[in-house]
Copies of this chain bind each other. A is one copy, B any other.
Amino acid sequence: MITASEENYLKSVFKLSEKDKSVSTNDLAQSLGTTPASVSDMVKKLSEKKLLAHQPYKGVKLTQAGKKIALDIVRKHRLWEVFLTQTLEMKWDSVHEIAEQLEHIQSQDLIRKLDAFLGYPRFDPHGDPIPDENGKIEERKTILLGEAKKGAVLLLAGVLTDNSDFLQYLDQQQVRIGSRLTVLEILPFDKSVSLSTGKKQITFSALVCQQLLMMEEV
């Protein structure tokens, strides 16, 4: 038996994992909104369960078993987000919080049927890929808008944060997943970028550009 809290820890380790590096106690505490002491407690438990590999004072990595569970939670989270936006027509800035609850509902059958009902979507409303039942994730070649060159024509493939204010702002600018953006100018002073959406012209700060994943037109 695995608890909702344990699932959240595994999911956070997964999200903070880069390449083969281990995840630090402090980063985990930050990501989970808890304290380093609590993380040490839970890390001990999850290591005993062989879901995390822990090197004291050096951080943790997911084991195979731990990664499997993490991917399953991510899958459920993203499928529910698709359901909330597509089926119930909720806004993309309000679904994350609810999906944080729904991702812990336990029923294989339910998720399989939900997946089928939604038509086996491969990306969630924020452009994040949805792992399949075996934990396989579709890879795409993407760059940050902040790395694009002048004149580039790119599609918005994803956003790197679920922050509600940020998503509402994009909505307001009529920028959403799939939007075609043309880089008109990159200001040397602050690296802010002026763009054409086809309909109008907008400027994004460098900070915003670091959150936008872009891809080539297919």
Chain B hits for A94, CB < 8 A: 109
Q: Look across to chain B and name the residue whose beta carbon is closest to the beta carbon of A101.
A: B105
A98 close to chain B: CB less than 8 A: yes
Question: Measured between C-beta atoms, what is the minimum distance from A16 to chain B in Å?
Answer: 26
A88 to B106, CA, bound (A): 16
**Known A-B contacts A98-B105, A101-B105, A105-B98; A110 and B87 likewise in contact (beta carbons under 8 Å):** no
A149 close to chain B: CB less than 8 A: no
Q: Contact between B90 and A113 (Cβ–Cβ < 8 Å)?
A: yes
A46 close to chain B: CB less than 8 A: no
Chain A 33-58 interface residues, beta-carbon cutoff 8 Å to B: none
Chain B hits for A105, CB < 8 A: 98, 101-102
Q: Contact between B88 and A117 (Cβ–Cβ < 8 Å)?
A: yes
Chain A 81-107 interface residues, beta-carbon cutoff 8 Å to B: 84, 87-90, 94, 97-98, 101-102, 105-107
Q: Contact between B106 and A90 (Cβ–Cβ < 8 Å)?
A: no
Interface residues in chain A, defined as those with a beta carbon under 8 Å from any beta carbon in chain B = 84, 87-90, 94, 97-98, 101-102, 105-107, 109-110, 113-114, 117
The 21 sampled A-B contact pairs (Cβ below 8 Å) are A84-B110, A87-B87, A87-B117, A88-B110, A88-B113, A88-B114, A88-B117, A89-B113, A90-B109, A90-B110, A90-B113, A94-B109, A97-B107, A98-B105, A98-B107, A98-B110, A101-B105, A101-B106, A101-B107, A102-B102, A102-B105
